[in-house]
Structure formats: C-alpha cells, structure tokens
Amino acid sequence: MRTSHIHAYVHACVLALALAAMALLPASVGAEEAHRELGAHEHGHGTLNIAIEDKRVSMELEVPGMDLVGFEHAPSTDEQKAAVEKAKAELAKPLAVFGLPAAAGCSVAEATVAIEAEHHDEGDEDHDKAEADRKDGAEAKEDHDEHEGHEGHNEFHVTYALDCTNPAGLSSIEFAYFKLFGGAHDLTVNVVTAKAQTKYEVSRDKPTLDLGGIM
C-alpha cells in the first residue's frame, strides 16, 4: 500500500468497526460509542488504529496533549516547549513505544508526529462544564482563563509505517507507551488484518495486547 493511502485505509476500517458496533447497540448508546470511537476528546484516553496488509503495518495514534505533556494548549514557556519536543522525539521511535516480537522482523519505514488543534463543539462544551462542576473557586477560574486564552484542545496525531519480514510473528504488542507518558491511562486499539477487524482495550494496568488468532 502506498504511504499516501495509509490514512484513508485505516480510517475507513475504523469507520466500519464503529458502524458495526452501532448496529448492535440501542440508538442512544450507539451514538455515544461512535462519537468516542471516532475521536471524542477524553483526557487519559487515546486511540491506536493498526492496519496490517501483506508485510506493511500502518499505525495511527491520536491522543490528547494533556496525556503526553500535561497540558493541551500551545506551549508558551521554555519548559512547556521542551516537554513537547521530548514527547515528539519519543513518539518518533515507534518500536520503543510499542514493543513488537523480534520474530516479526519489523523496521520503521516512516514516522510522522504532528500536533493538531481540536476546536470546541457542543460535546466539548458539555465536557468542560462537567469538569468545572467538579471544581470550585480558584481552580475552576484558572481552568476557565486557560481555555479563554487557548481556544480548542491540542491533540498529538502520529502515523507510522512499518515493514515486517514476518507479519505472522506479530503475536503481541507490549505498550511501553504507558511508562513513557504518565498522563496516559488507556487506549482503544482497532486492528484490521486480512482475517479480522477487532477492537481491544489496553491500559496502564494491562499494557500487553495479545494478537493471537487474527493474523
């Protein structure tokens, strides 16, 4: 698969997964799940999409900036800028973030790390109000002032292309990701192979993903 088609392919697979899940749920629950699946902003939670075709493994990671650097606005101090550069440097080494079995023989063909602004919509406003309801006084005012000064939420959007000499050896993934980024708590992982389209959940408490049976 050509690199220029990675995004479209992975997103199409994830959309199919979300629509299939909606068909099995009540309307209100399905809509909520689909919104989360396709990019709802939630601190501590990110999404990793993986598409495996022949010997190419395409990966797409979307995570709120808060999880990786402790804030979600554009960096304004030297300390914040350094934190962003450190996170970008760590994310640029996918095999150090996501441990793959040596038997798969994977090497990095491409790694792209970008920071994108996610602007407020109605769902974000409800989220912000809920956050404010749990706070009071100076803390709530500080958060409000921060949002006023920095519109929208910044998210890390990372894409990888890996070439694996033995894709059948991709039996598991070890998520060093949770050790590298203290604000990250869990990831929804969507995996698409020639055999199956499967959704998993990994977390700080369960950082190993078993891929047995889908390759």
Write out the residue range of the structural domain in which residue 88 sits: 3-119+152-210
pLDDT of residue 129: 52
Nearest by Cα to 202 from 184, 215, 214: 184
Domains of the chain: total: 1
- C-alpha separations of 141 from 7, 129, 132, 133 in Å: 39, 12, 9, 12
| Tokens of residue 143, six digits | 């958060």
Q: Is the pLDDT of residue 167 over 60?
A: yes
Look at 8-17, 30-39, 173-182, 186-195 and tell me which has the smallest mean pLDDT. Answer: 30-39
Q: Above 60 in pLDDT, residue 84?
A: yes
Contact call for residues 147 and 182 (beta carbons, < 8 A): no
Note whether residue 42 is domain-resident: yes
Q: Is residue 142 part of a domain?
A: no
Higher-scoring residue by pLDDT: 53, 10: 53
pLDDT 10s digits, 90-104? 999 999 999 999 999
Judge whether 134 lies within some domain.
no
Bigger pLDDT: 119 vs 170? 170
Q: What do you get for the CA distance between the two ends of the chain, in Å?
A: 18
- Is residue 62 scored above 70 in pLDDT? yes
Q: Supply the pLDDT for residue 44.
A: 80
Q: How confident is the model at residue 108 (pLDDT cuts 50, 70, 90)?
A: very high
Asked if residue 92 belongs to a domain, the reply is yes
In a domain, 124, yes or no: no
The answer to the question of residue 144 being in a domain is no
- Look up residue 13 and give its two tokens: 């697979």
Residue 153: CB partners within 8 Å, gap ≥ 6?
41, 64, 65, 66, 72, 117, 118, 119, 120, 124
Averaged over 193-202, what is the pLDDT? 94
- Strands laid side by side in the 98-99 sheet: 98-99, 172-175, 208-210
Q: How far apart are CA 169 and CA 157, in angstroms?
A: 27
Res 37: pLDDT:
43
Q: Which of 61, 83, 89, 62 is nearest to 71 (CA)?
A: 83
Within-domain flag for 196? yes
Q: Does pLDDT of 35 surpass 60?
A: no
State how far the alpha carbon of 18 is from the alpha carbons of 21, 25, 36, 84, 124, in Å. Answer: 5, 11, 9, 31, 20
Question: Is 29 domain-assigned?
Answer: yes
